[in-house]
Amino acid sequence: MSHTAHKNEEEIKEMECSEEEIIQHAKQLAFSIRRSKCFVVFTGAGISTSAGIPDFRGPQGVWTLRAKNEQRKAPTTSSIKAIPTKTHMALVVLEKVGYLKFLISQNTDGLHRKSGFPTNKFAELHGNTCLEICKNCNKEYLRDFRCRKANIKVHEHGTGRFCNICSTELQDTIINFGENLPIKPLNDGFDYSHKADLHLVLGSSLRVTPAANMPKETATISKRNQLIICNLQQTPLDYLATQRIWAKTDVLMEHVLRFLHLTIPEWLLIRKINIHFTSFSTMASKIKIIKIEAIEPDGLPATIFSQIIIRTKQLNKNI
């Protein structure tokens, strides 16, 4: 909320290394990635600003402007329409080739899932604006719209939609201030932070706990571990960083992948459509059933149809 905004101009101020300094940082980071046995990445809102999604504590951040009672002037893209950035896609490649072992994110914009990053190697600590879940059977539903209902109390999460499996009302997954983080992402985040010998923070001011304690865990558990922070603003963990990079994350990651001889792919939206045909007979007639469903690459149901029209021919007549 706005009370978590930076308190002074020094904290709000953004700084950036020269291009030559960023290239040297990228070269060193690429070397560290090659040597790492357990490389973990922690991401914040700064990795999505190039997609048009505002951050929270930058000069045009949501909490910064709200604390000043000002309106955002820069163009904004809703998280529903935004597409993954170069940083998102770089992380997909790093996982695919085996360098990146686990991803932790504070972001609720859903761009990591949209990028195709495997969900079994990923902890969404603060939820996903497009994801709702059945708390009874744990079935998840990924939507192409904001799941949270408007004008409800901050700690209410019912969406008004119901589970296809057990008919329980679905809940949005957004974690608001004062609420506990979900157990599995929380435990996974700390477990991998404990195992990590290299922890890279991308685009986070590291102000919100317990999430911000995860990179700190890596840095403090062993002097041999490396904590590398890439953010335009100061963070409370800068004193623990073995490498502090003042840069936009897209710029840094482009150089890092070049030094690793990897290419950042273009983002493609990939979904499957399953069509199931079944039939059964009654005393009066034979009943045919067609089930059409959209599926995300990770197996989650996807909502992509607003309407389905089926036309059939029987005896050369449309019915």
Task: Annotate 20-45 with DSSP letters as a single string.
Answer: HHHHHHHHHHHHHHHH-SSEEEEE-G
The number of C-alpha atoms within 13 Å of 230 and in the hemisphere containing its C-beta is: 26
Peptide bond before residue 210 is cis, with ω within 30 degrees of 0:
yes
126 is a catalytic site residue: yes
Cβ of 271: how many Cβ atoms within 10 Å?
12
Instruction: Provide the pLDDT for residue 143.
Output: 85
Q: Taking a C-beta distance cutoff of 8 angstroms, is the pair 99, 32 a contact?
A: no
- The residue to which tokens 């273009």 are assigned: 266
How buried is 157 (Cβ within 10 angstroms: 0-12 exposed, 13-18 middle, 19+ buried)? Answer: buried
Instruction: Provide the pLDDT for residue 60.
Output: 59
The number of C-alpha atoms within 13 Å of 201 and in the hemisphere containing its C-beta is: 37
Q: Locate all alpha helices (DSSP H) within 108-245, ordered by sequence.
A: 111-115, 183-195, 213-221
Catalytic residue among 6, 126, 157, 255: 126
Residues 6+ apart with CB under 8 A from 1: 63, 66, 177
Instruction: Provide the pLDDT for residue 227.
Output: 98
Task: Using DSSP bridges, classify how beta strands 100-105 and 169-172 pair: parallel, antiparallel or unpaired.
Answer: unpaired
Instruction: Provide the pLDDT for residue 61.
Output: 53
Q: Taking a C-beta distance cutoff of 8 angstroms, is the pair 44, 124 a contact?
A: no
Q: Taking a C-beta distance cutoff of 8 angstroms, is the pair 62, 5 a contact?
A: no
Distance in angstroms (rounded) separating the CA atoms of residues 316 and 33 = 65
Instruction: Provide the pLDDT for residue 304.
Output: 72
Per-residue pLDDT of the chain (319 residues; tens, 9 = 90+): 444 555 666 666 788 999 999 999 999 999 999 999 999 999 999 999 999 887 666 555 555 656 667 666 667 778 788 999 999 999 999 999 999 999 999 999 999 999 999 999 999 999 999 899 999 999 988 888 888 888 888 889 999 999 989 999 999 999 988 888 999 999 999 999 999 999 999 999 999 899 999 999 999 999 999 999 999 999 999 999 999 999 999 999 999 999 999 999 999 877 788 888 888 777 777 887 888 888 877 777 777 777 777 776 654 444 3
Cβ of 83: how many Cβ atoms within 10 Å?
16
Instruction: Provide the pLDDT for residue 317.
Output: 44
Instruction: Provide the pLDDT for residue 120.
Output: 94
pTM: 0.83
Distance in angstroms (rounded) separating the CA atoms of residues 30 and 24 = 10
Distance in angstroms (rounded) separating the CA atoms of residues 197 and 265 = 27
Cβ of 46: how many Cβ atoms within 10 Å?
27
Distance in angstroms (rounded) separating the CA atoms of residues 59 and 74 = 11
Nearest to 107 by CA among 192, 41, 171, 15: 41
Q: Taking a C-beta distance cutoff of 8 angstroms, is the pair 267, 83 a contact?
A: yes
CA 72 from centroid of its chain's CA atoms: 23
Nearest to 14 by CA among 253, 226, 203: 203
How buried is 210 (Cβ within 10 angstroms: 0-12 exposed, 13-18 middle, 19+ buried)? Answer: middle
Instruction: Provide the pLDDT for residue 2.
Output: 44
Q: % helix / strand / coil in the chain, to the nearest 5?
A: 30, 20, 50
Nearest to 301 by CA among 291, 293, 310, 309: 293
Instruction: Provide the pLDDT for residue 318.
Output: 41
